[in-house]
Amino acid sequence: MARADACEGMQVVTAAGRMKELSRAAHAAERRIGLVPTMGALHRGHLSLVSRSRSECDLTVMSVYVNPLQFGPAEDFGAYPRDTARDSDLARAAGVDILFVPEEGEVHVPGHLTRVEVERMGDVLCGRTRPGHFRGVATVVAKLLAIVRPAAAYFGQKDAQQLRLIRRMVRDLHEEVEIVACPTVREDDGLALSSRNAYLTTEERRCAPVLYRALQEAARRARAGETDASRLTALVRETIETEPLARIDYVEAVDDETLQPVTSIRGRVLLAVAAWFGRARLIDNLLL
Ligand code: AMP
């Protein structure tokens, strides 16, 4: 049933009210909705989430919304790549059933005052350099979940902190949605796909795979028996510093669930990095 509908073409929806109607109809027909929230500038990483949703759900909704709440005043909200026509073609080809591209005022209604804060988990790692970022993320995701009411929502491991924080938010708010983690899609040289890779110059692009190389090097060292977290983060730093174009923001080993720093590698530990290459701030991570 779902695939036959998909063949009729992708619907583009710009109003929250219309999206809610379609969601209500899907619920009435007992169709399982999968939601893939994105900020557009689609790449294979986003499309891998779509394909996972299609394999598990009857109806895949992709949202494309550059959420102003998650950008700081000095960040790239204005410059963030936007190309709705291209996104729409890619989404249709990937089998998205409904592309939700909310117009101004549809997600954050005029006069909105409500924010969702996941305490502690939003202040560490990227939250330190980007104060308020995760409040913006949690707020928009809570609203998208309320509008679309999916059975499952798909998130990339690439944004590990975001994924864990959304999981916690959904748990805390008793939301009835399954949060599905999808593996990071990479270029052949290891660079994690990201819409912000478009900011890299040729020279910066050549250096950027050092992030993943450094993480892998540390993972090898951990497998060989190194359990001291500070020695592993030092190794990651040293490797990244071999590339003069990289400017490290942070390298941290944290507990995979709470995101709080650990001193030794016991249980599931997330090794996470962020670094600037010119005006692009790139992140990557690996689970030890
Ligand atoms: P964004 O458009 O950057 O907000 O990302 C939308 C979703 O795609 C998030 O859940 C990201 O984690 C996910 N995503 C971004 N890049 C990748 C990637 N390289 N591999 C897998 N998922 C990704």
CB distance 102 to ligand 1 below 6 Å: no
The answer to whether 6 touches 26, Cβ cutoff 8 Å, is no
CB distance 39 to ligand 1 below 6 Å: yes
Q: Ligand 1 atom closest to Cα of 195?
A: 3
Listed in sequence order, the DSSP H helices in the chain are 2-7, 16-28, 44-56, 84-94, 126-129, 133-148, 160-172, 202-207, 210-223, 229-241
Q: Which of 118, 107, 91, 83 has the alpha carbon at shortest distance from 20?
A: 107
**In Å, how far are 97, 195, 214, 227, 272 from 218, measured between CA atoms?**
41, 26, 6, 11, 11
Residue 82 sits at φ, ψ, to 5 deg, of: -130, 125
- Through-space distance between the first and last CA atoms of the chain, rounded to whole angstroms: 41
CB distance 185 to ligand 1 below 6 Å: yes
pLDDT for the residue numbered 220:
97
CA of 28 from ligand 1 middle (Å) equals 30
**Pocket residue to mutate for ligand 1, from 46, 66, 184, most atoms within 8 A of Cβ:** 46
pLDDT for the residue numbered 8:
61
Q: What is the pLDDT along the chain (288 residues), one digit of tens a residue?
A: 444 444 469 999 999 999 999 999 999 999 999 999 999 999 999 999 999 999 999 999 999 999 999 999 999 999 999 999 999 999 999 999 999 999 999 999 999 999 999 999 999 999 999 999 999 999 999 999 999 999 999 999 999 999 999 999 999 999 999 999 999 999 999 999 999 999 999 999 999 999 999 999 999 999 999 999 999 999 999 999 999 999 999 999 999 999 999 999 989 999 999 999 999 999 999 999
Cα distance between residue 230 and residue 236, in whole Å? 10
CA of 131 from ligand 1 middle (Å) equals 20
pTM confidence score? 0.96
Residues with catalytic roles: 46
Task: Look up residue 130 and give its DSSP letter.
Answer: S
